[in-house]
C-alpha cells in the first residue's frame, strides 16, 4: 500500500530512487557488500560523491568559481557556519526576516557580528514577503530564506543586491529556475527536494572565503571541505548516495526547467481548489504563495479535526499545518506526482459536498 505523502520534510522520494537504494542496501554495485559497509574512500563511493557534486553543478548551471559540498549537521548548522566563515566581529550582515527559520539563522549570526534586519513580515505572522526595502551597501552579506516552509510563502522575485547574497534554499532547491550564479552561498538540508535527512548541500563561491580574521575550527571551515572534495571525514555515505540517485532522477525528468513546469501545475491546481471551495481559504497572500508548501485553513475551524480524520481514512498523510499557522499544509515537492494533488483536490470537493 502506498499513501499520498504530503509531509513537509523529511518528505517523499521518487519510487525508483527508493527501489535502487533498497537494492544497494543488500549489494552495492555488485561488490557483495551493502553500501552501508563500504569504505567512504573506496573507488565506488568516490564516484558517487563526484557524480553527486557534478549533478548539482549541472542542474543549477553553476559557474567555475563555485564549489559543491555535501556536509553534516543539517541546514541548522549552516545558520552558524555561514557567519563563522563570512562575518567578522564588528561587521554587519543583513537578514530578511520571513519566519522561524530566518529567525534561527539571524540569531546564530548575532554570535559572530552585528545583524541588521533589513525587512520583516512578522507584523502579519509571516503571511507575506516584504516588498519595499533598501539593502545597505556596507553589509557583509544579505541572507534570504527563499521558501518559508512553515508559512507557505516564497520569494518569486529574488532581490537584486550589490552585496553577496546568501540563501537558505532548504525547501525549494531544484524546484524552479533561478540564476543561481547570482548567489554567493546557497545551502539546503537534503530532506525535502534532494534526498534523506543527514546531509546538507552547500554551494559556495570560493572567492568569498578566507576574508575573516578569526580562526575557524577544522570541521566548520568550508575551505577544508573544498580541499578534501567533501570527504574530509566520513560523510553520510547512504544519504549522499540517495541524493545522487534523486539528482539523477531529476536530470532524467528534464532537469529544473521541466520540474518547474510540473511544480507550477501542481500548485495552481491546489490553490484553485482552495480559492473556489467554500470550506477552505489560503493563509499566505496570493502573490507570495509557495509552490512547495501550500498552507490553508477551514472557514469553520470546528470542521478541521473531521477533515483531518477524513484525509487519514483516504490515505492522505502529512497535511496537518504547523502549530504556528494551524490548519493544513500540503507539501508538494519535486517527487510528488500530480495524481496525488488531484486526489487531494477530489477529496476536498467530496468533503465540501458532504459538509456544505
Ligand atoms: N531552513 C528551512 C527553510 C527549513 O524548512 C528547515 C527545516 O524544515 C530548516 C532550515 C532546518 O533544517 P535542518 O533540520 O536540516 O537543520
The CATH number of whichever domain residue 320 belongs to comes to: 3.90.1150.10
Residue 9 Cβ contacting ligand 1 at under 6 Å: yes
Which is nearest to 51 in space by CA: 80, 29, 23?
Answer: 29
CA separation (Å) from 76 to 178, 197, 200?
23, 12, 9
What domain count does the chain have?
A: 2
Residue 154 Cβ contacting ligand 1 at under 6 Å: no
**Complex ipTM, two decimals?**
0.99
Let me know if 107 is a catalytic residue.
no
Average pLDDT value for the chain: 97
Measured CA to CA, the distance from residue 74 to residue 179 in angstroms comes to 24
Residue 242 has, within 13 A of its CA and on its CB side, a CA count of 26
Domain boundary among 252, 284, 305: 252
Q: Is residue 265 domain-shared with residue 206, that is, in the same domain? A: no
Let me know if 101 is a catalytic residue.
yes
Tell me how far the alpha carbon of residue 75 lies from the centroid of ligand 1, in angstroms.
5
Tell me the three cell numbers of residue 288: 507570495
Domain boundary among 229, 252, 275: 252
Let me know if 155 is a catalytic residue.
no
Q: Is residue 121 domain-shared with residue 233, that is, in the same domain? A: yes
Tell me how far the alpha carbon of residue 142 lies from the centroid of ligand 1, in angstroms.
18
| pLDDT value of position 214 | 96
Tell me how crowded residue 123 is: count the other CB atoms within 10 A of its CB: 9
Q: Over 148-162, what HEC string results? A: ECCCCEECCCCCCCC
| pLDDT value of position 110 | 98
Measured CA to CA, the distance from residue 295 to residue 99 in angstroms comes to 14
Give the ligand 1 atom nearest the CA of 77.
Answer: 16
Q: Is residue 60 domain-shared with residue 184, that is, in the same domain? A: yes
Measured CA to CA, the distance from residue 5 to residue 48 in angstroms comes to 28
Q: What is the pTM of this model?
A: 0.98
Q: Is residue 49 domain-shared with residue 117, that is, in the same domain? A: yes
Q: Is residue 229 domain-shared with residue 83, that is, in the same domain? A: yes
Tell me how far the alpha carbon of residue 145 lies from the centroid of ligand 1, in angstroms.
10
Across the strands, what pairs with 280? 298
Q: Is residue 296 domain-shared with residue 225, that is, in the same domain? A: no
Q: Is residue 39 domain-shared with residue 167, that is, in the same domain? A: yes
CATH code, 212: 3.40.640.10
Q: Is residue 83 domain-shared with residue 160, that is, in the same domain? A: yes
Q: Is residue 286 domain-shared with residue 241, that is, in the same domain? A: no
Q: Is residue 186 domain-shared with residue 267, that is, in the same domain? A: no
Tell me how crowded residue 32 is: count the other CB atoms within 10 A of its CB: 9
CA separation (Å) from 249 to 83, 116, 195, 217, 242?
33, 40, 11, 36, 10
Q: Is residue 50 domain-shared with residue 186, that is, in the same domain? A: yes
Tell me the three cell numbers of residue 47: 564516484
| pLDDT value of position 1 | 76
Residue 74 Cβ contacting ligand 1 at under 6 Å: yes
What does the pLDDT profile of the chain (356 residues) look like in tens digits?
789 999 999 999 999 999 999 999 999 999 999 999 999 999 999 999 999 999 999 999 999 999 999 999 999 999 999 999 999 999 999 999 999 999 999 999 999 999 999 999 999 999 999 999 999 999 999 999 999 999 999 999 999 999 999 999 999 999 999 999 999 999 999 999 999 999 999 999 999 999 999 999 999 999 999 999 999 999 999 999 999 999 999 999 999 999 999 999 999 999 999 999 999 999 999 999 999 999 999 999 999 999 999 999 999 999 999 999 999 999 999 999 999 999 999 999 999 999 97
Q: The domain containing residue 298 runs over which residues? A: 4-11+255-355
Residue 293 Cβ contacting ligand 1 at under 6 Å: no
DSSP reduced 3-state for 111 = coil
Domain boundary among 206, 223, 252: 252
Q: Is residue 170 domain-shared with residue 259, that is, in the same domain? A: no
Amino acid at each position: 500500500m502506498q499513501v499520498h505523502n504530503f509531509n513537509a520534510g523529511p518528505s517523499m522520494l521518487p519510487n525508483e530512487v527508493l527501489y535502487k537504494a533498497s537494492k544497494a542496501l543488500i549489494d552495492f554495485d555488485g561488490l557483495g557488500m551493502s553500501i552501508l559497509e563500504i569504505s567512504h574512500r573506496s573507488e565506488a563511493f568516490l564516484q558517487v560523491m563526484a557524480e553527486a557534486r557534478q549533478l548539482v553543478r549541472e542542474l543549477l548551471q553553476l559557474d567555475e568559481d563555485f564549489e559543491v559540498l555535501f556536509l553534516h549537521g543539517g541546514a541548522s548548522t549552516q545558520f552558524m557556519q555561514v557567519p563563522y566563515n563570512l562575518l567578522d566581529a564588528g561587521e554587519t550582515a543583513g537578514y530578511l526576516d520571513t519566519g522561524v527559520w530566518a529567525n534561527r539563522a539571524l540569531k546564530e549570526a548575532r554570535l559572530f557580528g552585528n545583524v541588521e534586519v533589513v525587512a520583516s513580515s512578522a507584523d502579519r505572522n509571516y503571511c507575506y514577503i516584504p516588498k519595499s526595502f533598501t539593502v545597505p551597501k556596507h553589509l557583509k552579506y544579505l541572507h534570504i530564506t527563499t521558501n518559508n516552509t512553515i508559512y507557505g510563502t516564497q520569494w518569486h522575485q529574488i532581490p537584486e543586491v550589490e552585496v553577496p547574497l546568501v540563501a537558505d534554499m532548504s525547501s525549494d532547491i531544484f524546484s524552479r529556475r533561478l540564476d543561481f550564479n547570482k548567489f554567493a552561498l546557497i545551502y539546503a538540508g537534503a530532506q525535502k527536494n534532494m534526498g534523506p535527512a543527514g546531509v546538507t548541500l552547500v554551494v559556495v563561491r570560493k572567492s568569498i572565503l578566507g576574508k575573516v580574521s578569526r580562526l575557524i575550527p577544522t570541521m566548520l571551515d568550508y575551505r577544508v571541505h573544498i580541499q578534501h572534495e567533501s570527504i574530509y571525514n566520513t560523510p553520510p555515505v547512504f544519504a549522499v548516495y540517495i541524493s545522487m540517485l534523486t539528482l539523477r532522477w531529476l536530470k532524467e525528468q528534464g532537469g529544473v526547467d521541466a520540474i518547474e513546469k510540473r511544480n507550477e501545475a501542481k500548485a495552481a491546481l491546489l490553490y484553485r481548489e482552495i480559492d473556489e471551495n467554500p470550506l477552505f481559504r489560503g493563509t499566505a497572500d496570493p502573490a507570495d504563495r509557495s509552490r512547495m508548501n501550500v498552507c490553508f485553513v477551514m472557514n469553520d475551524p470546528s470542521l478541521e479535526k473531521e477533515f483531518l480524520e477524513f484525509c487519514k481514512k483516504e490515505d492522505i498523510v502529512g497535511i496537518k499545518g504547523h502549530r504556528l499557522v494551524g490548519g493544513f499544509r500540503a507539501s508538494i515537492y519535486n517527487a510528488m506526482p500530480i495524481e496525488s494533488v488531484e486526489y487531494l483536490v477530489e477529496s476536498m470537493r467530496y468533503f465540501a459536498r458532504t459538509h456544505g
